[in-house]
Chains A and B, each alone.
Chain A
Amino acid sequence: MLWSLLKSVVAITIAALIIAAVLIALGASPIGVLFALCEGAFGNWYALTDTVVKATPLIFTGLAVSVAFSGALWNIGADGQLIAGAIAAGAIGPYLGAWPRPIAIAAMLIAGAIGGAIWGGICGWLRARRDTNEVISTIMMNFVAAQVLSWTVHGPLMEPSRAYPQSRLIAPSAHMYMFLEPSRLNLGIVIALLLAAGCYLLLFQTRLGFQIRAMGRNRRAATFFGIPIARLTIGLLALSGALAGAGGAVQVSAITHRLYERFSPGWGFEAIAVALVARLNPIGIVISALFFGALDNGSQAMQRAQGVSPVLVQVIQALVIMILLAFDTPAVARLRASFGVGAPISAAPQTGASADA
């Protein structure tokens, strides 16, 4: 367990060292970049609160990825599912003006969850009933979602003035509750925390969670214990999609108040790094999402101060994922055993495990 946590810290450290070397090669100062990142992420009250705001969608998508991966369903489509949820919420949002605020907000969230659940559920159905690799189908559905979004904001949902490709503003009653304005802190983070706790209980305290993890360890063996693999596959990808979709709805309700093209900067892909650093543990997702949210937030200040592109953050994400993958392999485990460190105890399926085992 300790090693499992340590792995993430070591992976991030190694990634940071590689980045430092790259920065020196580019003629930038690694220390300066680190300070600018921290300044931008935690330097003042607004920066600090915005780190939490930027982490919120990552908690939703991180949970989505983590529950699916726990069942060895490789959902690469959290981005599309988040967009599907945002479209659903953004579509009903303008019409909720007459509704009481709590109910309007709940309607937004439910619409988002349903949108995401449909998007994920389709891939689950394809996997369970048509033996279609969910990796391919979730990737394809990302692109379909992006095009549907582009079509809706150019077409049926476009603002009445038709000035820009964006949807109408949602009704004020559908706006998320905001805290400590003018900061952008909102109820979304509380919902995210509750969902993280819920996912933890689901995975580790319920029979269903046990079945999901059993399926994650060995899909074929799970069938011999009477676990309904087909139903579980559809349900789990729908749940995964619902989590991502609710995240999209929160973003519309609290931050953007409308839809536009390229709504997601890649939250669904960043979620893979978030989930792996958290070792797929829903509570860990919160910490890991805050870490990556801080990176995202600090990267803007880094660009201003050091002239380094904020996409540097994506290099860090990629390196962390690759190092953690390598840590989980038998070769590294043998190396570790030779130093006398005990066998890892992990509730998560090995990310080195086969997609179809």
Chain B
Amino acid sequence: MLNAFLSSTIAMATPVLLAALGELLVEETGIINIGIEGAMLSGAFFALAAAYFTGSILLGLAAGIAAGVAINAILGVLVVNLSVNQVVAGTALDILAIGITGVFYRRFFGITGKAFMVSPMPRIDFGPLTRIPVLGALVFHHNILVYLAFAMVPVVGFILWRTRYGLMLRAAGERPEAADALGLGVYRLRWHALVASGVLSGLAGAYLTLAYANTFVENISGGRGYVALAVVILGRWKPWEIAAASILFGAAMALQFGLQALGTQVPYQLFLALPYALALMVLAGIGGQAASPSGLGEPYTRL
């Protein structure tokens, strides 16, 4: 029971963590990416479709990444090059992804009734390590994407706060006018972050279909992209805290499944609402924008 809970916590935390790290990158350059839910959903569908038709998990992952990047590229044209309202554009992309994946899904699979499934991504074999109590289920029980997600935490942190390039990215988010005046190329930096975030949210989506559900149902991302937004706030724009917040979310989800399975009287909805409620409280508590980049959400037009 405990092992299942721990293992499921990490499995649920992974897609959120991947997406949240991508969201952190774009937010540091000054873009609030509401379209992350759409990038994740597109990644989920196209990863599975590619894996299903080619029989290759690797090509599936590539297609998921491509779909995530494609969605973020549309966002990039709108919010970077045309400086439109980021919130409305992002919401439009979420709606677009639900529509496109739904239309394709029903066109190719909905009517035929064929099982739209692939075999799950294999777990990495750690041999006897898996049988260590607690630690085995928590750490040595997962597929490669899980380790990749957690390995990305220090990588993203290092790039953002220990490199010159990271300083440039953050300058684009804090003071875009100043960054452009220094010749840093705010548009280019924001595009870099959007592409990186597209890769990560595409992978997050691919994880949902290739490693977790092994099939696709409409709107499979089910708000996990919005959870990633909440997780970035909960983690106060710091990679390790974001990882902790993702695990907290994973635990809430796992606990909810456990409670439903046990048939207890505790309302499981409480745990599902928890990440959102916590994010609201954190936002109210830190008095708004204290930890967020000061240019966040402001459209910036180069003169």
Q: Which residues of A contact B (CB under 8 A)?
A: 22, 26, 74, 76, 126, 130-133, 135-137, 139-141, 143-144, 147-148, 150-151, 154-155, 266, 269-270, 272-273, 276, 307-309, 311-319, 321-322, 325-326, 328-332, 351-357
Contacts and interface: CB of A to CB of B under 8 A. Distances in A.
Given A133-B288, A155-B267, A74 B88 contact: yes
Given A269-B94, A325-B82, 13 more contacts: A131-B289, A140-B279, A144-B280, A150-B269, A272-B92, A309-B105, A309-B106, A311-B218, A314-B95, A317-B92, A325-B92, A329-B82, A329-B83
A76 B102 contact: no
Interface in B159-217: none
A354 B297 contact: yes
B91 A76 contact: yes
Could you say which of A151, A314, A319 has the most chain B C-beta atoms within 10 Å of its C-beta? A314
Could you say which of B106, B111, B269, B279 has the most chain A C-beta atoms within 10 Å of its C-beta? B269
A271 B229 CA distance: 22
Contact of B276 (A140, A269, A317): A140
B153 interface: no
Interface of B: 32, 34, 74, 78, 81-89, 91-96, 98-100, 102-107, 110-111, 218, 223, 226, 229-230, 233, 267, 269-270, 272-273, 276-277, 279-280, 283-284, 287-289, 297-299, 301
B276 A76 contact: no
Nearest to B82: A329
Query: What are the 4 closest A-B residue pairs judged by CB atoms, nearest first?
Result: A131-B288, A311-B102, A314-B99, A318-B96
Contacts of B301: 330
29 contacts: A26-B104, A130-B283, A131-B287, A132-B288, A136-B229, A137-B283, A140-B279, A141-B276, A143-B223, A143-B272, A143-B273, A147-B273, A150-B272, A272-B91, A308-B103, A308-B106, A309-B102, A309-B106, A312-B99, A314-B95, A314-B96, A314-B99, A314-B102, A318-B92, A326-B84, A330-B301, A351-B88, A352-B83, A357-B298
Nearest to A150: B269
Contacts of B272: 143, 147, 150
A131 B297 CA distance: 14
A352 to B, nearest CB: 5
Contacts, number: 177
A143 B276 contact: yes
A189 B71 CA distance: 37
Nearest to A134: B87
A74 B82 contact: no
A155 B100 CA distance: 36
Contacts of B233: 136
A181 to B, nearest CB: 34
Given A133-B289, A147-B272, A354 B299 contact: yes
Contacts of B289: 131, 133
B280 A317 contact: no
Contacts of A314: 95-96, 98-99, 102
A322 B100 contact: no
Given A136-B233, A148-B273, A151-B267, A317 B99 contact: yes
Contacts of B93: 318, 322
A334 to B, nearest CB: 12
A309 B84 contact: no
A311 B98 contact: yes
Given A26-B103, A74-B88, A135-B297, A143 B283 contact: no
Given A74-B88, A131-B288, A311-B102, A322 B78 contact: yes
A308 B284 contact: no
Nearest to B279: A140
Contact of B88 (A141, A154, A272): A272
A230 B44 CA distance: 42
A315 B103 contact: yes
Contacts of B284: 126, 130, 132
Given A74-B88, A144-B273, A355-B87, A126 B280 contact: yes
A312 B103 contact: yes
A135 B32 contact: yes
Nearest to B298: A354
A331 B77 CA distance: 12
A272 B88 CA distance: 8
Contacts of B89: 321-322, 325
